[in-house]
Structure 1
Amino acid sequence: MSIDGPSSAGSSIEVHGDTHAVRNQPPEFGPCDLWATDPALREAVAREGGDAFAAHLAGYGRIAGDALYRLGWDAHRDRPRLRSHDRFGHRIDTVEFHPAYHEIMGTAVAQGVACLSWAPGQWSLPVEGAHVARAALSFLHHQVEPGSSCPLTMTHAAVPALRREPALHAWAAKAAAARYDRRDVPMADKAGITLGMGMTEKQGGSDVRSNETAAVPLPGGDDYALTGHKWFFSAPMSDAFLVLAQAPGGLSCFLLPRRLPDGAKNAFRVMRLKDKLGDWSNASSEVEFAGARAQRIGEEGRGVAVILDMVMLTRLDCMLGSAAEMRMALIQALHHCRHRVAFGKRLIEQPLMRNVLADLVIESEAATAFALRLAGAVDRAPHDALEAGFARVATAIGKFWICKRAPAFVNEAQECLGGAGYVEESMLPRLYRQAPLNSIWEGSGNIQCLDVLRALQREPIAMHALRAALLSATGRHPAYDAWAMAVATDTAAMLTMDPDAAQAGARALVERLALALQAATLLRADSPLAEAFCRSRLGGARGMVFGTMTAHDDIDGALARMEP
């Protein structure tokens, strides 16, 4: 149409309904087979003893990259809501979720994300390699829906502690069952359960020995009444929670059910849900206990020891989660760069972008390989003392480093998309909000570094295992040999230092140990990226940002690793 009106030129203005055509935009991401398109994951699973589970993992890789990827958008958009009371005024403390969240949880539990390690026979799968396969399931799941990884991880990690207590065997069996039941009913009425945790309090944080929640023994048996609060009470919709409280004999661990055997609600109140930076699909809360019933796990005064037995499993999942976030951010960035044209070329053909993307590929593969290496050590630990020692110290090393790398990694992937990577219609903002969580959860960076020092000073097998791991890859690359020798010398020297000086230098040492162990893992695996990792991470000057590889580094080889 035209609009006639006065103008200096005496002409009419043409107005069209469509002002432009949409072009030079990538197609929608997905469906994506997250197993078939990830050679680093497939090779790591086979290398660490999980090859018998390949078909099961392949099935979950297809589900995660399609159905769960789509469901995750709704689960994050519609955050959990607390209903403290029903319409009649009864206290109910119910957390309501979008139906997509429950569908995601149901699928994950049914496929073994929470329990494959403990009951692989439910799928007619072997026991050997089950921890590796469960780690791979967690890695696949976390890429598309990290919020639900919280209750899945806690349920998984709690099973060994529950199995040690004869009175709690029914709880352990149902936590290890591939059945998800969202109903708020007593454990006896369910075929499967989920578990949460409540460790920290306002005044203590990581210093759980300063907890003030009181546990008073009840007559007969191991039941107690708990009174106090928890500053972080994870997954408050769970069927039961592992909590720490002060019993007469000292800080102890307890299983606190949501519902008592007679169906009555246990005496704890959800005060509010945390308004978190990320992890929006999952609920975290503050609670108060008002004489809540709980059963003791382990001896009085041994609560920290009980929790530490679980920590290696939860910290491993932090590593897996951060590595998974890196992987998803990377494939989102590659998808965009393969389709977007700028300055006459596809982005993936631009030399500087290729440098950035190749650097991200190397970082992602190193994180994946190291996390699965730890899963293999956990799998072998019960019958291999050296692997148990390695798992003890290297989990803290890896948890510190991989979780620290994830936020910078995801931000770099955002830059590959430009402004589109900052808009909520992209997945990158969700990943960026999520990325800092794993470095904080289950002990921040300082806690991990202090734990490394503690393990090396007090547990000879941990130091022996670390030395063996460093020596295992010598003779394969000159940059690695020099790095490993220097870091081994500095580690031994730090253990003889004044404690304050050792603590002050702990982060620098643990960073160097992490790079050494990542390099050793890639070298022993004959990874096609091992050479580039050693050259770019260990071989001299390197910038603090991604994309600073040199002409001597195999940029083309790294990108070829990601060919669709």
Structure 2
Amino acid sequence: MEATHEVTNQPPPLTGYDVFGADAALVEAVGRHAPAAAGAELPALGRLAGSAEAQRWAREADVNGPVLRTHDRYGHRLDEVDFHPSWHRLMATAVEHGLHAAPWASPEPGAHAVRAAKFLVWSQLEAAHLCPVSMTYAAVPALRTDAAVAAGWEPLLTSPAYDPGLRPPAAKAAALAGMAMTEKQGGSDVRANTTRAEPTGGGWYRLTGHKWFCSAPMNDVFLVLAQAPGGLTCFVLPRVLDDGGRNAVRLQRLKDKLGNRANASAEIELDGALAQRLGDEGRGVATIIEMVAATRLDCVLGSAALLRRSVAEATWHAAHRSAFGARLADSELMRAVLADLALESEAATALAMRLAASVDAAADPHERALRRIGLPLAKYWVCKRTPGAVAEALECLGGNGYVEESGMPRLYREAPLNSIWEGAGNIQALDLLRVLTREPDAVAAWRTEVEAAKGHDRRLDDALAAVTATLMSGDLAGLSAAAARRAGAGVGGPLGTDGAGGAGVGVRTAAAGVDGAGAPGQARVLAGHMAVLLQASLLVRFAPAAVADAFCASRLDARHGVYGALPAGLDTAAIVERATPEAP
């Protein structure tokens, strides 16, 4: 019977490698955006992320999820969440490497781009713990609305120490931030919030109400929206007050989520909780918008990381598994699928890093404007493409990919989250319409960025001309028809087909503005086209010719819908080789 237990033709685990160094697209992006700042820290983090020990932390944190303790044995309120030790190891590493708010305090050029690269590397290991890290990063620009409030919290939030536990701020070496905006009756419509804020004097209020989602409830401070006498207002709510008393934040239950299971997401009740006003009454959305922008960037980075990890696992498996007398990676059909997935991953990485670099150059009007329009485009497109790509990568492993031990099911459960968090697809599409209507500088920045590749690929030039004509004429139906003509028969649906179709959509731009009752119904089509053009421009300028050619052939000329249906004549072998991790 011993011979029946001999294990053959099974790929070795993808472990003991440098997650950063194995990602050619990310290495090159760091070289473009922060050439002097990366040093040895990124390779060191990459080696840790690829180690068997850290991969064990990720599994343990996911399997041993957070546990809510509302009361102690005597009936006293606790309102605490217990985490597995591996969660704390992941968190400590993230904070010590500055993935949280450290870049806001760094004088180094390219600090935000380097932080984005670290985020891409480390979240390939386990994505859930990056939620509190991301919210801490995003809280700082919002807190800077009020210099006095920021002065009290920013040194703790930017500290490179990890100091968990509920204690007064003065007793802590560092702090982490969260936010609680969503209510059960409103969701993304935060203006429907009913939580009340009653002034007590000196800029402090008592908040009473319910929050439907509060991620990372063990963090130290939260940005919260509530209805003050002057309208919807932003507040800074500490979990523990200066005198050591617990603030009146009651944890009702933890959400039982599809993925992101290592992170605690809670429903909370605010029972007269003390909070400090941030910004003017009635200006809550305007105050918190910088936090939303930063978390949207991290949604894009997180999805790019999921794409990259999935591609790494799929290409590694195909390089070490044989079927029908040949390596899977040498099969023409499999190679086409792997190359297609690699294109999706590389384009996502390039766009995410480009937007992260715009944070470093925020003093530049073009960079500010590009980030304004680029974030809803990337958040819509990259996050929406990720679940399908992860599913296709899982299929490359066959039945092994469906087994928990492979790690692919965890990636698959995580994949839809970033498209939902911080505004689902429709919210991003409507935000794009808002930009087109009110912010011509942002539209001009998008066009300038895409036109930087003009003249290098006819397909890109043609697609840009079609979208530009659409923006000027409002004929989205014509845009879809033009794409179909270029594609011939094609496979699947045109780019951004969600809700496409119909004529006379009534979009108009005369100084890059949009109006017309039909515009919202076509916003997803336009968002998809504009995002893909940004990606194509970046790849044409910076990626190897094989990558740029295949991306333009499949995403601009073809009606791309099914992975592996690439046009003939592309150098798929070169694309797959570039995406495959090397054996340690």
Band of TM-score, shorter chain: over 0.9
Counterpart pick for 1:320 among 301, 317, 332 = 301
Q: Please give the alpha-carbon distance, in whole angstroms, between the structure 1 residues aligned to 2:7 and 2:40.
A: 40
The structural deviation recorded for 1:167 is 3.3
Give 1:48's aligned residue.
33
AA aligned to 2:319 is: R
Counterpart pick for 1:280 among 261, 266, 281 = 261
Give me the identity figure in percent.
51
Give 2:200's aligned residue.
218
The structural deviation recorded for 1:119 is 2.3
Give 1:149's aligned residue.
130
For each residue in 1:178-230, what CA deviation from the matched residue of structure 2 results, as whole angstroms up to 9, or x when unmatched? 111112111110011111110010100000001000000003x1110000000
Q: Please give the alpha-carbon distance, in whole angstroms, between the structure 2 residues aligned to 1:68 and 1:148.
A: 13
Q: Please give the alpha-carbon distance, in whole angstroms, between the structure 2 residues aligned to 1:268 and 1:311.
A: 23
The structural deviation recorded for 1:455 is 1.0
Give 2:541's aligned residue.
524
Q: Would you say 1:361 and 2:342 are equivalent positions?
A: yes
Q: 1:543 to 1:462 in 2, by over 3 A?
A: closer
Moved more, 50-59 or 515-524: 50-59
Counterpart pick for 2:103 among 117, 121, 131 = 117
Residue 202 of structure 1 aligns to a residue in which SS? Answer: coil
Alignment of 1:142-181 (within 5 A): 142-165=123-146, 166-181=148-163
Taking structure 1 as the reference length, the TM-score comes to 0.94
Counterpart pick for 2:413 among 433, 455, 470 = 433
AA aligned to 2:312 is: I
Q: Would you say 1:91 and 2:77 are equivalent positions?
A: yes
AA aligned to 1:515 is: V
For each residue in 1:539-559, what CA deviation from the matched residue of structure 2 results, as whole angstroms up to 9, or x when unmatched? 2x3441100112222212212
Q: Could you say which structure has the larger radius of gyration?
A: 1
Q: Please give the alpha-carbon distance, in whole angstroms, between the structure 2 residues aligned to 1:20 and 1:99.
A: 35
Counterpart pick for 1:370 among 312, 336, 351 = 351
The structural deviation recorded for 1:498 is 4.7
Give 1:132's aligned residue.
113
Counterpart pick for 2:446 among 427, 451, 466 = 466
Q: Please give the alpha-carbon distance, in whole angstroms, between the structure 1 residues aligned to 2:35 and 2:216.
A: 30
Q: Please give the alpha-carbon distance, in whole angstroms, between the structure 2 residues aligned to 1:167 and 1:40.
A: 40
Q: Would you say 1:388 and 2:368 are equivalent positions?
A: yes
The structural deviation recorded for 1:170 is 2.1
Give 1:194's aligned residue.
176
Aligned residues of 1:50 and 1:133 also touching (Cα < 8 A): no
AA aligned to 1:42 is: V
Aligned residues of 2:145 and 2:287 also touching (Cα < 8 A): no
The structural deviation recorded for 1:258 is 0.6
For each residue in 1:385-434, what CA deviation from the matched residue of structure 2 results, as whole angstroms up to 9, or x when unmatched? 01110100011000000000100000001110011111111111000000
Aligned residues of 1:457 and 1:495 also touching (Cα < 8 A): no
Q: Please give the alpha-carbon distance, in whole angstroms, between the structure 2 residues aligned to 1:233 and 1:213.
A: 14
Alignment of 1:255-274 (within 5 A): 255-274=236-255
Aligned residues of 2:37 and 2:111 also touching (Cα < 8 A): no
Moved more, 297-306 or 61-70: 61-70
Aligned residues of 1:542 and 1:548 also touching (Cα < 8 A): no
Give 1:24's aligned residue.
9
AA aligned to 2:556 is: L
Q: Please give the alpha-carbon distance, in whole angstroms, between the structure 1 residues aligned to 2:171 and 2:289.
A: 31
Q: Please give the alpha-carbon distance, in whole angstroms, between the structure 2 residues aligned to 1:527 and 1:255.
A: 47
Give 1:9's aligned residue.
none
Aligned residues of 2:140 and 2:150 also touching (Cα < 8 A): no
Q: 1:212 to 1:418 in 2, by over 3 A?
A: same
Q: Please give the alpha-carbon distance, in whole angstroms, between the structure 1 residues aligned to 2:560 and 2:528.
A: 15
Q: 1:17 to 1:525 in 2, by over 3 A?
A: closer
Q: Please give the alpha-carbon distance, in whole angstroms, between the structure 1 residues aligned to 2:540 and 2:288.
A: 34
Counterpart pick for 1:300 among 250, 272, 281 = 281
Give 1:77's aligned residue.
63
Q: Please give the alpha-carbon distance, in whole angstroms, between the structure 2 residues aligned to 1:483 and 1:137.
A: 33
Give 1:536's aligned residue.
554
The structural deviation recorded for 1:293 is 0.4
Residue 505 of structure 1 aligns to a residue in which SS? Answer: helix
Q: Which runs of 5+ in 1 are unaligned?
A: 1-15, 121-125
Q: Please give the alpha-carbon distance, in whole angstroms, between the structure 2 residues aligned to 1:431 and 1:345.
A: 28
Q: Please give the alpha-carbon distance, in whole angstroms, between the structure 1 residues aligned to 2:333 and 2:385.
A: 21
AA aligned to 2:43 is: A
Aligned residues of 1:116 and 1:131 also touching (Cα < 8 A): no
Q: Please give the alpha-carbon distance, in whole angstroms, between the structure 1 residues aligned to 2:55 and 2:189.
A: 37
Give 1:397's aligned residue.
377
Give 1:8's aligned residue.
none
Q: Please give the alpha-carbon distance, in whole angstroms, between the structure 1 residues aligned to 2:544 and 2:180.
A: 41
AA aligned to 2:535 is: Q
Residue 404 of structure 2 aligns to a residue in which SS? Answer: coil
The structural deviation recorded for 1:334 is 1.3
Counterpart pick for 2:392 among 412, 432, 436 = 412
Residue 229 of structure 1 aligns to a residue in which SS? Answer: strand
Taking structure 2 as the reference length, the TM-score comes to 0.91
Aligned residues of 1:50 and 1:132 also touching (Cα < 8 A): no
The structural deviation recorded for 1:234 is 1.0
Give 1:424's aligned residue.
404
Give 1:242's aligned residue.
223
The structural deviation recorded for 1:18 is 6.2
Q: 1:18 to 1:526 in 2, by over 3 A?
A: closer
Q: Which runs of 5+ in 2 are unaligned?
A: 475-506
Aligned residues: 541
Alignment of 1:460-539 (within 5 A): 460-492=440-472, 493=474, 494-496=507-509, 498-528=515-545, 529-539=547-557
